Structure 1
Amino acid sequence: MAQSYLWRSGQVRGYAVVIFTARHVAEPTEMSEREAAAFWRDARAVGHAIEEHYQPVLKMNYLLLGNAIPHAHWHLVPRHEATKDPAPGGPVPFALLDHGRQDEALLQRDAAALRRLLRGAA
């Protein structure tokens, strides 16, 4: 129902996107109940894996926006304590999510760890 990607860009380690892939829809109201439930289950599973791997996470932000790309997709943004969070107590500016580049070796290790966690949850 969905594909998940760990974001290479930006300054927030663990930022991921979960994209609805069954067909094109811009809104969750365009999904059947089964599709919507499966889409949320996929986003929840990825969020749980992110929480497990990137501890200590104080909060996960789940954003279903679609302002720039009108296709149903979740943005999952792990939030950390104030000393490690790029925008403590407020929304993370998209510039911090898009500008810069994650360390490729670390990103690959993180992706492998998240895959193992997701397989273990299935």
Structure 2
Amino acid sequence: MPVFRLEPNEDAQDAERWSRSAYRGACLVAAEDGEAARRYADAAYVETGREGEKSSPWMDDGLVACRAVAATGEPPPLGWVRNQETGLVTDAKTGRTFHPEGMAGRPTL
């Protein structure tokens, strides 16, 4: 399972789209590909706008770089998004956020 690192462009931190995101830092994402990694980060951190519309910084490659990184050990489930500042993991599929410590036997990012 590929893991991707999404990293916001420091020069674009003031872009209006960031106002919708609960987080503006680097994250690791277990995903099928880079586009899916961006969708998972979007689901984990961006609130839905009016009538379900989103204007997400995570989907914009001018605001956020996305690259595959080497993963070690057993791969985590698809859709897990790890905040690189706090270590918290959000399951983008369920919206559940948790700390991976104490999850003996479970893969982590």
What is the TM-score when the length of structure 1 is the normalising length?
A: 0.30
Name the structure with the higher helix share.
1
Higher Cα radius of gyration = 1
What is the TM-score when the length of structure 2 is the normalising length?
A: 0.33
